């Protein structure tokens, strides 16, 4: 299977939203106490707001003449603070692969593109966060070279 990865054009965002719906369903299933069921108008429109802002890139993976994967990325600049050094990094805000195309190299192709794009922007770090219940995503990210450097924890009271 031939996979092409590139920056999306605006008229492809409806197709990206089909994949975002799949990702949202995984999150609702894993943490229904946190994530809203369904695919609200606000969630649907959020990708257009990000795209139009110029601060985010929407990246698509294409195979079999259709969009089968996506990522939403941005560059973050953190200033020097009393606690942290100044730093800049490439952030993956959203990431997903069509259920029918998982384990076929789509996610790997997306990550390769993301790494190349980060390097081209002069950055040496890619960051993302994910939900602990999503074991498949965790296994993929670790296999792709990501490692945990910070952890959020919770406790019911």
**Residue 65's domain is classified under what CATH number?**
3.40.630.30
Residue 151 lies in a domain: no
Residue 58 lies in a domain: yes
Q: What pLDDT band is residue 80 in, cutting at 50, 70 and 90?
A: very high
**How many domains is the chain partitioned into structurally?**
1
Q: Phi-psi category of 4—alpha, beta or left, where left has phi over 0 and alpha has psi -120 to 50?
A: beta
| Structural domain containing residue 19 | 4-144
Residues 115-132 have a mean pLDDT of 97
Residue 35 lies in a domain: yes
pLDDT given for residue 36 in this prediction: 95
pLDDT given for residue 64 in this prediction: 95
Residues 71-85 have a mean pLDDT of 97
Residue 47 scores a pLDDT above 90: yes
Residue 155 lies in a domain: no
Residue 31 lies in a domain: yes
Residue 149 scores a pLDDT above 90: yes
DSSP string, 54-112: SSEEEEEEEETTEEEEEEEEEEEEE---SSS--EEEEEEEEEEE-GGGTTTTHHHHHHH
Average pLDDT, the chain: 97
Residue 149 lies in a domain: no
Residue 89 scores a pLDDT above 90: yes
Residues 122-133 have a mean pLDDT of 96
CB proximity list for 140: less than 8 A, separation 6 or greater: 107
Residue 153 lies in a domain: no
Residue 156 lies in a domain: no
pLDDT given for residue 1 in this prediction: 86
Q: What pLDDT band is residue 129 in, cutting at 50, 70 and 90?
A: very high
């Amino acid at each position: 299977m031939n996979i092409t990865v590139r920056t999306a054009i605006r008229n492809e965002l409806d197709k990206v939203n089909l994949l975002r719906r799949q990702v949202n369903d995984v999150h609702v299933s894993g943490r229904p106490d946190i994530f809203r069921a369904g695919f609200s108008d606000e969630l649907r429109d959020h990708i257009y707001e990000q795209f139009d802002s110029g601060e985010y890139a929407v990246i698509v993976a294409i195979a079999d003449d259709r969009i089968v994967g996506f990522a939403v990325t941005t560059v973050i600049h953190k200033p020097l603070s009393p606690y942290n050094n100044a730093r800049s990094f490439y952030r993956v805000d959203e990431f997903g692969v069509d259920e029918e195309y998982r384990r076929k190299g789509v996610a790997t192709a997306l990550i390769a593109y993301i790494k190349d794009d980060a390097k081209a922007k002069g950055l040496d770090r890619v960051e993302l966060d994910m939900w602990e219940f999503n074991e498949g995503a965790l296994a993929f990210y670790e296999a792709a070279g990501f490692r945990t450097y910070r952890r959020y924890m919770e406790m019911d009271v």
